[in-house]
Structure 1
Amino acid sequence: MTTREPRPVALLLPGQGAQHPGMAVELYDREEVFTAAMDEFFAFLPDGGAVRSDWLTDSPRVSLDDATRAQPLLFAIGYALGRAVAAQGIHTSVLLGHSVGELAAAALAGVFGLADAAALMSARTEVMAHTPAGGMLAVAATPEEVLPHLCAHGNGLGVAARNAPKQTVVSGTEPSLSTVDLAMSRDGLFSRRVPAVQAFHCPAVASAARAWEVAFARVPLCPPSVPIVSTRTARRISDGEARSPEFWAGQLATTVLFWPALDALLAGGRFTLVEAGPGGTLSVLARRHPAVRRGDSEVVPLLPSRPEGSWKSWDAALSRLSGP
């Protein structure tokens, strides 16, 4: 009997919209490396105590859908899971992050240290606090079907993410976002609100991206020690891009090319796609890819889509990743 050669691990790190109450809380104080990484990040984050409290309570003072909570927590959970996976002796061959997940990927790859990452996340929150109220819509349509509506209903609207061939995220400020939502519905395009109360990855936050670039200019930036397939460019990040403040800050206002990036990754070989974050959204998307459907690559989420069962899901994922 022959043993199948294990596939290399590609870590997928989710972004805004994946958050939910109770996410990964069962691992805290139970998985040593995960807990230490979370506490280390909270210690560096200026309002880390408040973020930690809102994460661990059933009655948060600030909603976890607000960027001041969702963004640092998604970063921290993705980073801490990556560290915990490595501590189990599981080698990550490549990283792919969605929106703020790409920042977690950069930290895991050593582009910047955790203290600097906390400063960058704090600066991200600060620049976004000065943007108008807005949000995002997940639309069951192609970008080509969506774009005419965006052009007709406001300059601040944009395609925030290309998540799958017929799954596009639209972002913008109010009231334009609600107007375009109604117009698309009248045209038979189904949409739903992404859990977010700010616009990301659209022209409306271009000035915030430029302001955020100042924070990156203060931070030492290094080439990644682990390859990162960027969802800004849908290809591997070059050493020059990794050292560029504009490359990282500009991500805030540009489209997240998740599906093209995943396509580029899977065109290069067979992988075990490990989702290191809550919600299971990236796992659902990845399972639609032809390379996964035909069995060339597989998907292993570390956490469940709901808060209950996080420890069981983590344990089961480790068994799969460590098995023959």
Structure 2
Amino acid sequence: MAAGLCHDDHGFTNALDEAFEAMGPQGEHLRAEWRAARPRLPIDHATRSQPLLFAVDYALARMVEGWGVRPSALLGHSLGELVAAVLAGVFGLADAARVVVNRSHEVAQAPPGRMLATAASPADIAPLLVGGAVIGAVNAPRQTVVAGTVRAVEATRGMLAGAGITHRAVPSLTAFHSPVLRRTRAHAARAFASIPASPPRIPLYSCYTAARLSAGEARDPAYWADHVTAPVRFWDALCALLSTSPYLLVEAGPGQALSRLARLHPDVRAGRSAVVPLLPARSGPPSRDREAARRARRLLEAEGIGGPTCDRPLSAGVGR
């Protein structure tokens, strides 16, 4: 989770401090847990994973801006879309951070749930869903995520095994993007209704409508509240973005999961668009984070993007 960049890159460190401060007392607890050798709660617990993911995504994006890079489009996966909304000027950082913290506590109180990643299309998966399990995300043509209650997902797992479909558990204690979070959605709607929202100043592509976010959607509390129960349509959103122009996609988030997905796109495979992750694919010593970020900066500068005299904008940023 980018811990190796803390105190190494001033832009990252300052933005991370800004995000933690915006979260109030919870931010200090989160910082301590993030750096602790033995955290009190597992990282997959919603009160840890969600706010920390928000803070790290935000800090990575600001770090890249500090390199002289300006995004011409933004695309976020799940919680990453809320970070993209802050970067695009839809929400203020403080307002969005408070919503994330409060929502994470609501999520933690939801009924236990599970998620499964499958190597199959939505059409393959749909007949095998049982017990109220749903499709929670379509990340690529044959990368579909199932979500639901523990019982529903376990029953669906048996159906998948019987059909010979490869699958694995997603490290989450919550069934995001499913009806399990109905109550959380209601709380989120009230929270978003209480904070100001503006049209995006940077084109922002929605992983829920798979189209460019409109001014009306940006101001609609129901649109943002639906994120916890609606399926993520990352692949469709990526296709919508890449249909407009060639892009250089920068993954501003932990790991390289989105980079791997983006490299499956025909435009990337043909060399019309390219992908640059900011962090290593797997966790490791702090030096690995620093090496990955420096490599990304060198790649951007080699493309003529970034640097103190650069006036060329970055084609797109992808966060998770």
TM-score for both structures, normalised by structure 2:
0.91
Query: 2: distance between equivalents of 1:172 and 1:29?
Result: 40
Distance 2:299 2:292 in 1: 11
**Counterpart in 2 of 1:101?**
80
Aligned-partner Cα distance in 2 for 1:255–1:93 = 26
Whether the 8 Å contact between 2:131 and 2:151 is mirrored in structure 1 is no
2:6 is matched with which residue: 11, 17, 28?
Answer: 28
1:182 deviates by 1.7
Deviation per CA, 1:125-184, whole angstroms, max 9, x where unpaired? 12212311012100011111111121xx212x2111000000000111111111111221
Among 235, 238, 254, the alignment partner of 1:262 is 238
Query: In 2, Cα distance between the equivalents of 1:180 and 1:85?
Result: 41
Question: Aligned-pair distance for 1:189?
Answer: 1.0
**Residue in structure 2 matched with residue 296 of structure 1 by the alignment:** 272
Tell me whether 1:49 sits opposite 2:23 in the alignment.
Answer: no
What is the SS of the residue equivalent to 1:112? coil
- In 2, the alpha carbon distance for the partners of 1:199 and 1:248 equals 17
Alignment-derived partner of residue 133 in structure 1: 112
Letter in 1 for 2:278: L
- Say whether the 8 Å CA contact 1:138–1:170 is kept in structure 2: yes
Runs of 4+ displaced beyond 6 Å: none
Match of 2:144 in 1: 168
Q: Distance in 1 between matches of 2:66 and 2:187?
A: 36
Aligned to 1:38: 16
Structure-2 separation of matches of 1:154 and 1:142: 20
What secondary structure is seen at the aligned counterpart in 2 of 1:141? coil
Corresponding residue of 1:306: 282
Taking only the aligned residue pairs, the percentage that are identical comes to: 46
AA aligned to 1:77 is: V
Q: CA deviation at 1:73?
A: 1.1
2:171 to 184, 187, 195: 195
SS in 1 for 2:206: coil
2:38 aligned with 1:59: yes
SS of 1:65 mapped into structure 2: coil
Q: Is the 8 A contact 1:303 1:310 kept in 2?
A: yes
SS at match of 1:319: helix
Give the match's secondary structure for 1:135: strand
- Equivalent pair of 1:230/1:236 in contact (CA under 8 Å): yes
Shift of 1:43: 1.5
Give the AA of the match of 1:154.
Answer: G
Q: CA deviation at 1:223?
A: 0.8
**Contact 1:90–1:322 (CA under 8 A) maintained in structure 2:** no
1:159 is matched with which residue?
Answer: 135
User: What is the CA–CA distance in structure 2 between the aligned matches of 1:188 and 1:58, rounded to whole Å?
Assistant: 40
Cα shift readout 1:239-271 (whole Å, capped 9, x = no counterpart):
110011101111110010000000111111100
C-alpha offsets along residues 194-214 of structure 1, whole Å, 9 cap, x if unaligned?
110001001221232122110
Q: Aligned letter for 1:32? A: H
Report the counterpart of residue 52 of structure 2 in structure 1.
Answer: 73
Distance 2:85 2:197 in 1: 10
The counterpart of 2:211, out of the listed 232, 235, 240, is 235
Cα distance in 2 for partners of 1:66, 1:130 equals: 11
Contact 1:67 1:125 in 2 (8 A): yes
Amino acid at match of 1:195: P
Q: Secondary structure at the match of 1:168?
A: strand
Counterpart amino acid of 1:78? D
